[in-house]
């Protein structure tokens, strides 16, 4: 009799721990997906801001039409990008182009002093930070979820219930080149 009770209690305990672990894995997977959407939101924000900035500086930067053209082209490419890989690549190129524009604007102090332009540059600078932080947060969430999947006892549940290792957001080649030699931008 008492043996049955002990067995039942142990079973209930194991089941309870299993439920908690499973729910944590689900919550972790959702957090990773949510963090990934957050990157999308910030990339979209950059796409929306760029035409305004280019419009505002076009008049002043007559001799830099080529750079402006590059930024617009990169933006349009990012808009059209379909698959995830294309989105990554196009946005990396766009990031590079906007940084080039920022660098050029350094040599136009009267431009930076303009209220409208200063405001747009602040917004764009903030957006670049947000994209970086959104990626960092995504990677943090991936790190936490992968810990849950690999560590005992989560690893016992992860396999049977189909929780896969999440993939880190890594820099592509173009971004690595920038990271190695960042352009000087001081706002």
At its nearest, how many Å lie between other proteins and the CB of residue 80? Answer: 26
Contact 91, 78 (CB under 8 A): yes
At its nearest, how many Å lie between other proteins and the CB of residue 43? Answer: 13
Q: How would you write the chain as a 3-class SS string? A: CHHHHHHHHHHHHHHHHHHHHHHHHHHHHHHHHHHHHHHHHHHHHHHHHHHHHHHHHHCCCHHHHHHHHHHHHHHHHHHHCCCHHHHHHHHHHHHHHHHHHHHHHCCCHHHHHCHHHHHHHHHHHHHHHHHHHHHHHHHHHHHHHHHHHHCCCHHHHHCCCCCCCCCCCCCCHHHHHHHHCCCCCCC
At its nearest, how many Å lie between other proteins and the CB of residue 176? Answer: 18
Q: Specify the residue, 77 or 169, whose C-beta has the smaller distance to other proteins.
A: 169
Q: Specify the residue, 136 or 165, whose C-beta has the smaller distance to other proteins.
A: 136
Kindly give the interhelix angle for 84-105 and 173-180, rounded to the nearest 10 degrees.
Answer: 30
At its nearest, how many Å lie between other proteins and the CB of residue 137? Answer: 5
Q: Specify the residue, 45 or 76, whose C-beta has the smaller distance to other proteins.
A: 45
At its nearest, how many Å lie between other proteins and the CB of residue 113? Answer: 16
For other proteins, the binding residues (CB under 8 A) are: 31, 35, 38, 42, 119, 122-123, 126, 129-130, 133-134, 136-137, 140-141, 187
Q: Specify the residue, 34 or 73, whose C-beta has the smaller distance to other proteins.
A: 34
Q: Specify the residue, 32 or 68, whose C-beta has the smaller distance to other proteins.
A: 32
At its nearest, how many Å lie between other proteins and the CB of residue 133? Answer: 4
Of 95, 106, 44, the residue nearest 71 (C-alpha): 95
């Amino acid at each position: 009799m008492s043996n049955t009770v002990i067995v039942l209690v142990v079973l209930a305990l194991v089941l309870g721990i299993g439920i908690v672990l499973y729910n944590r894995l689900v919550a972790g997977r959702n957090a990773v997906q949510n963090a990934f959407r957050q990157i999308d939101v910030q990339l979209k924000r950059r796409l929306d801001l760029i035409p305004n900035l280019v419009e505002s500086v076009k008049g002043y930067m007559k001799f830099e039409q080529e750079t402006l053209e590059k930024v617009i082209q990169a933006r349009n490419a990012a808009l059209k990008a379909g698959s995830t890989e294309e989105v990554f690549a196009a946005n990396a190129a766009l990031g590079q182009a906007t940084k080039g524009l920022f660098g050029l604007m350094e040599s136009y102090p009267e431009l930076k002093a303009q209220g409208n332009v200063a405001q747009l540059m602040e917004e764009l600078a903030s957006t670049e930070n947000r994209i970086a932080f959104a990626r960092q947060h995504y990677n943090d969430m991936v790190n936490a979820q992968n810990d849950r999947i690999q560590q005992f006892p989560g690893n016992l549940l992860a396999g049977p219930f189909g929780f896969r290792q999440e993939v880190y957001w890594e820099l592509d080649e173009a971004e690595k080149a920038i990271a190695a030699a960042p352009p000087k931008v001081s706002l």
